[in-house]
Amino acid sequence: MLSSPWIAALVALFVWWSSTGAILFAVRRADQGGAHARLWACLMTLPFLVLGAAGFVDTLGTSTIAGIYVAFLSALALWGWIELTFLTGTITGPVTSHSVPNVSEGERFIRAWGTVAYHEMLLAAVMVAMVILSWGAANQFGMWTFAILLVARVSAKLNLYLGVRKVNVEFIPEPLSHLPSHFRTARMNWLFPLSITGLSFASACWLERLWTADTQADMVGFALLSAFTALALLEHWFMVLPLPDEKLWRWMLPERPQPTQATRLSEEVQ
């Protein structure tokens, strides 16, 4: 059953939804416990980092259907743990203050970059390591999965910085309450059409590879990549369309103990 490209696409959809919800749940619970709880959340989930790294390396020479799925899930485990360290405020950047008004665009960009610098450099370092390790390997689907996530994240953050219509900061935890002040709200920015075009083109490329795949394993791999890229494209559209995408995960999260700065900013934006 797992050899079907349609099932692979459904797996990608479920993993996207469930892993996002799991990370948001862990962050919300840690937020209720304070700084120590946030640190412990990262430490207690370290096995995901270890298993993700081990799974990625172990499947590089394996081009079976099982190996494709393990590589895909391993890349998500690596990404998920690094994302958790960011959302808990453990690995972010040197700038932890709100945006300063009436500064030049160059200074504004430097300050905004400073809020995420360490985290983005860690992601880039992991990406470089994965590219080096998978160079010429039989199974590169784990590397491509991580690459899709990285490119989509950078694109989304730049669009938020430049300005989009919908700035949803409902799930931003207390340690990152300064982030929304570095965002802009605008009907459109010059990067958004390029982001949509690039992700659409990437989705089409994966679908073409899926159509011409020689083996069932390759069909599964390209189906996973196609679905994940399409989901990244959908997340970009969520930034400009008046759709309540937050309802996908809001119902599963515990209530905040009290209104936070991020919540107040979210209410002001909406």
Read off the pLDDT of residues 107-142 as tens digits, 9 standing for 90 and up. 999 999 999 999 999 999 999 999 999 999 999 999
Which three-class secondary structure state does DSSP give residue 245?
coil
CB atoms within 10 A of CB 171: 19
Question: At 76, is the pLDDT very low, low, confident or very high (cuts 50, 70, 90)?
Answer: very high
User: Which of 4, 108, 86, 97 is closest to 38 using CA atoms?
Assistant: 86
- pTM score, whole prediction: 0.93
CA angle 219, 221, 224 (to 5 degrees): 105
Number of domains in the chain: 1
Tally Cβ neighbours within 10 Å of residue 193. Answer: 10
Residue with tokens 């985290």: 119
Label residue 255 by pLDDT band (50, 70, 90): confident
Q: What proportions of the chain, in percent to the nearest 5, are helix, strand and coil?
A: 70, 0, 30
What 3-state class would DSSP assign to 59? coil
DSSP 8-state class, residue 45: T
Question: What 3-state DSSP class applies to 248?
Answer: helix
Structure confidence by residue, pLDDT tens digits, 162-219: 999 998 888 899 999 999 999 999 999 999 999 999 999 999 999 999 999 999 999 9
Expressed as residue numbers, the domain containing 218 is: 5-269
3 state DSSP class of 185: strand
CA–CA distances in Å: residue 17 to residues 181, 186, 237: 27, 27, 16
For residue 18, pLDDT over 60 is answered with yes
